[in-house]
A and B are shown apart, each in its own frame.
Chain A
Amino acid sequence: MTDGGRPSSEFLSEAQEIIESFSRNLLALDAQSSAPELDPELLNSAFRAVHTLKGLAALFGAGSITELSHALESALDGLRLGRIQVDRDSLDVLFESVETFQALLAGLGRDGPAVEIRGLLERIGELTEEQGHDRPDTTLVGLDPSVLGVLTEYEEHRLRETIRLGRRLFRVHASFSLIAIDVGIEAIKGKLKTFGEVITYLPSADASADDRIDLDILLGSEAELDAIASGVAGDGAAVFELNPLPDSTGAPGSKTSDPKGKDKPSRPSGGASRSSGTAGASRPAGTSRAATADGASRAAGAEGSRSSSPATRSASVEDRVGDDTSFPPHGGGRVETEEGGTTELSLRSLSRTVRVDLSRLDSLMNLIGELAVVQANFASTLDDLRAQPGTADVAREFQAHLRTMDRKLSLLQQGVLEVRMVPLGQVFDKLARVVRRLGREADKEIRLNISGAETELDKLIVEELSDPLMHMIRNAVDHGIESREERMSAGKSAVGTIELRAFQKGNRVVIEVEDDGRGLDWRQIRRTAVRRGLVTDLESRELGMQQVVDFIFAPGFTTRETATATSGRGVGMDVVKTNISRLSGMIDVDTVLGKGTKFAITLPVTLAIIQALVIETAGHTFCIPLNSVLESIMVHRRQIHTVEGHEVISLREKTLPLLHVSRLFDLRRPSENHEREVEQRIYVVIVGLAQHKVGLVVDELLGQQDVVIKPLGRALRSVPGIAGATEISGGRTVLLLDVSTLVEEALAKPDAPPGRSGFGRDGSTREGSSRPFGSEGPSHAH
């Protein structure tokens, strides 16, 4: 955007939230689009979202966003008034708008080519112009023309819809004292909403006293008159059933079984939709049946439990939509007027949430980490104190305080960590849009089942996850799910299914992407691997299925001969793997040929504070993230064997390659004089990376500690094998090992044991080391 300089982060995050809520509404609409009836509240929410966005964008001078939301607002208005059909084409345009909004937002404040919105605006324009052609012409008869005259277009539309769907129409007459009118209206509307849809409420003409106001509320419902009457009995309201349907005699095509509906409890049959006739307004309003509140009380129990379905549905949608957006839940009931209601909503933010820049939380986290260091220093001071004679009492008191501080500190840490947590739903919603779009592009019908969207992860991890998950979803749509014909001939349902699941497992979160497609053909993968020279033909024969399947994570690997627009160009799974391991996560594949493929990503809940194992080797201290440590053992030198020049140990009948941290990093002891004598026993830290396990040889295990990871900055960020730095007790700054890179590096060495060569190698810089690290003065020869 060229206008308006740098957008405020406030605007960005608020606009983002609005667009996300808009997108959720669209997804819900898409899911309902084949149903006979749409939840009107979804369209209303979408309309309000865009309206709010328009106001916000105009305020911040984001021209293109304002323009687009303005056009979209008109289209959505047409949709909610029933002038435009909610169908695939109109939804396509709406979904495209979501993408465009996001592109526009991303482009804000950044130089570069402006996002082109002309095409989209034209398509929205076409949509808007169509309106009016297909106008439903249910005639509203039986209603007082004076009432009809004051209905807004939207209210009239809802009225027609109510009739079209064969619902009953009720007039609820209530009287309120002027003083308590707002409370009274809310109360009665809340009750009425459980029965159906409040279409409008109008001041009644026959006001009885000066200090009272009488209102007529129009209610569309499937419930019985008696049930509604008893529902609002406490509010002193009278309920009348109206019958606005035209007489069958004058309405060709009308199938209303009993237009008068007088004493029949059965509702008008569902076919009563579009009665197209123009039968005269012979029936005056409110003639059909009346039951006063007191009179209806006897029928209370019978019908009271039957709440109408639209109410329950819209409630569940609101649960989802209303969680973190700035839109208040609509259950409280607000006037759905065309202009007034929406304006009111956009000005009020009822959510009790605060938006915080992540960097502020980071600095809080840093402070907590430093406090932990201070606390560790206190502990060592306590030890010093104990060594002094005659200090036992003071020391005991000191220790008690220290313990309290320890507890409070971990509570504080826990609290800040929880603030950083966001539900995965944000990402999942984006993926749902991707599935929809890709499915249509590939002409495959795909159902996406999402579960565990409420699972929470650190905001940073969630952000980093969206790209890898996107790749995996693309793969599932393009490679996984077969074409409709292929599925049919394989005896599968024509509709493909992708399951997106998230759940917490201990202190880790597992995300699974599973499709019921064709599965991975491991023989074909093996052939491709041989053809690409990743393994020799001979070596490949020794590989197990799991090892072969792992080749899909090799850079540039694809079994496709031709690339499609979405995938098949061989970039993807290696990126996925790299991104996941950067988050100290692991990825596993499980596939059955012809049945489907399941990818499972396991991630730590947070990266801000981790538990680390502090080790020492060649006089240098390092931390290893505890979540990748399987166990630490002590091994006698006798137990080390060599296989083709590589040191290995046997652990529970499995052979484990050994890596010396000091050799990997070319470490020298700071002082050569104190050359450590060769110990007979060595410590081995067993670390695991997906299916691969490796033993890291170290000199000392110094213990475990919670550490705050600090980034190394631009210059040192890409040092292979180092994930960051952290401060440990004693105020020392130490490096945190990037276990996944080290393990991969070891496995990728050209002289690695057979079966592993060439796998997972990504870039030659990984091997570099310039000088004996940590040595003083000129370098020594090996």
Chain B
Amino acid sequence: MPTESKDLWHALLRSGESLATEDDYEHGYAGEARRDLEQYIAFRVARETYGLSISQIGEIAMQLKTTPVPRTASFVLGIANVRGTVIPVLDLAERLQLQPSTPDRDARVLIVRHEGEQYGLAVDQVVGVVSIAPEDLEEAPGAIGSTRGEFIQSLARRDGELVIVLDLSMLLRPKDFLAPLASAARRNR
């Protein structure tokens, strides 16, 4: 969609990523070429910046129409139909136990691929593509909050901003999707 690519373009500009200019194409790209830089999509959830490897992301969609699914955990917004495939959509703020904000025009759904299936992750805003060198990644410190820590793969500092790289395999652990048992009791009251 044109709007998205424009978004990304602006985001790239904002994030200060150097872009090849026409001159570069003519006379060769002068910028430093590092091959080990990995590209991440940076996005915001509850005013924090998170990142996922660009290889994990299939596309970025505008808000998807979701159908709620009963008996699922609170972070499951429901299912959405993306070109014929039904995928679960998660509220990432709720999943990370952050303060959810009301979705506005910037809100997007990242469609990620994980173990052969697709999932939608609702985020507040997509910041753009950032390149991170391996040496700038630090292992997740054990205790950032109690539960949130397990979703964090690593941390990266970029232009003074902290990018939290998420661990999809923990984030999308199937057993968490079902509603917790405790609610059964509440329901019967």
Contacts and interface: CB of A to CB of B under 8 A. Distances in A.
Contact of B76 (A370, A716, A727, A767): A716
Nearest to A720: B71
A639 to B, nearest CB: 26
Contacts of A620: 68
Given A716-B79, A765-B181, A770 B72 contact: yes
Contact of A771 (B74, B80, B86, B174): B74
A361 interface: no
A479 B177 CA distance: 41
Interface in A757-782: 764-765, 767-771, 773-774, 782
A712 B68 CA distance: 12
Interface string A313-339: 000000000000000000000000000
A321 to B, nearest CB: 38
A765 B79 contact: no
Contacts of B174: 714-715, 717-718
B79 A725 contact: yes
A235 interface: no
Given A716-B72, A716-B177, A773-B68, A710 B86 contact: yes
B84 A370 contact: yes
A666 interface: yes
A557 to B, nearest CB: 25
A733 B81 contact: yes
A719 interface: yes
B84 A366 contact: yes
B70 A665 contact: yes
B51 interface: no
A710 to B, nearest CB: 4
A143 interface: no
Contacts of B128: none
B20 interface: no
Interface string B60-85: 00000101111111101001110011
A771 B183 contact: yes
Contacts of B179: 768-771
Nearest to B188: A767
A719 B69 CA distance: 9
A769 B187 contact: yes
A125 B145 CA distance: 66
B97 to A, nearest CB: 14
A714 B68 contact: no
A768 B79 contact: no
B58 interface: no
A530 interface: no
A711 B116 CA distance: 14
A725 B180 CA distance: 22
B189 interface: yes
Interface residues of B, number: 33
B79 A770 contact: no
B87 interface: yes
A678 B25 CA distance: 71
Interface in B132-189: 172, 174, 177-181, 183-184, 187, 189
A355 interface: no
Contacts of A764: 181
Contacts of A714: 115, 117, 174
B80 to A, nearest CB: 7
Contacts of A716: 69, 72, 76, 79, 88, 177
Contacts of B67: 725, 732-735
Given A714-B117, A721-B71, A666 B85 contact: no
A735 B180 contact: no
A768 B181 contact: yes
A782 B76 contact: no
Interface in A720-754: 720-722, 724-725, 727, 731-735
B86 A770 contact: no
B68 A765 contact: no
A98 to B, nearest CB: 32
A770 B84 contact: no
B119 interface: yes
A626 interface: no
A366 B82 CA distance: 12
A666 B84 CA distance: 28
A484 B87 CA distance: 57
Nearest to A726: B86
A713 interface: yes
Nearest to B172: A715
A722 B80 CA distance: 15
Given A714-B115, A719-B178, A733-B80, A768 B86 contact: no
Interface in A650-691: 665-667
A666 B86 contact: no
A713 B71 contact: no
A770 B119 contact: no
A166 to B, nearest CB: 64
Contact of B180 (A366, A712, A770): A770
Contacts of B117: 713-715
A666 B69 contact: no
Contacts of A733: 65, 67, 79-81, 86
Nearest to A774: B68
Given A721-B70, A782-B189, A768 B177 contact: no
Contact of A712 (B74, B88, B187): B88
B84 A665 contact: no
A127 to B, nearest CB: 45
A720 B81 CA distance: 21
Contacts of B86: 710-713, 724-725, 733
A734 B67 CA distance: 7
Nearest to B67: A733
A667 B181 contact: no
A666 B67 CA distance: 15
Nearest to B118: A713
Contacts of A771: 74, 179, 183
A769 B70 contact: yes
- A727, A732, A734, A770: residue with the most chain B Cβ atoms closer than 10 Å: A770
Interface string A365-398: 0110010000000000000000000000000000
Given A712-B79, A714-B117, A722 B189 contact: no
Nearest to B117: A713
A694 to B, nearest CB: 18
A757 to B, nearest CB: 16
B180 A768 contact: yes
A769 B178 CA distance: 8
A764 B179 CA distance: 12
Contacts of A770: 71-74, 179-180, 183
Nearest to A750: B188
A717 B117 CA distance: 12
Given A715-B119, A733-B79, 10 more contacts: A667-B70, A710-B85, A712-B79, A713-B87, A714-B115, A716-B79, A727-B81, A767-B184, A768-B180, A768-B183
Q: 6 tightest CB-CB pairs across the interface, nearest first?
A: A770-B179, A665-B70, A767-B184, A773-B70, A768-B179, A770-B183
25 contacts: A363-B84, A366-B84, A666-B70, A710-B84, A711-B86, A716-B69, A717-B174, A718-B178, A719-B178, A721-B70, A731-B81, A732-B67, A733-B65, A733-B79, A735-B70, A764-B181, A767-B181, A768-B179, A768-B180, A768-B183, A769-B183, A770-B179, A771-B183, A773-B70, A782-B189
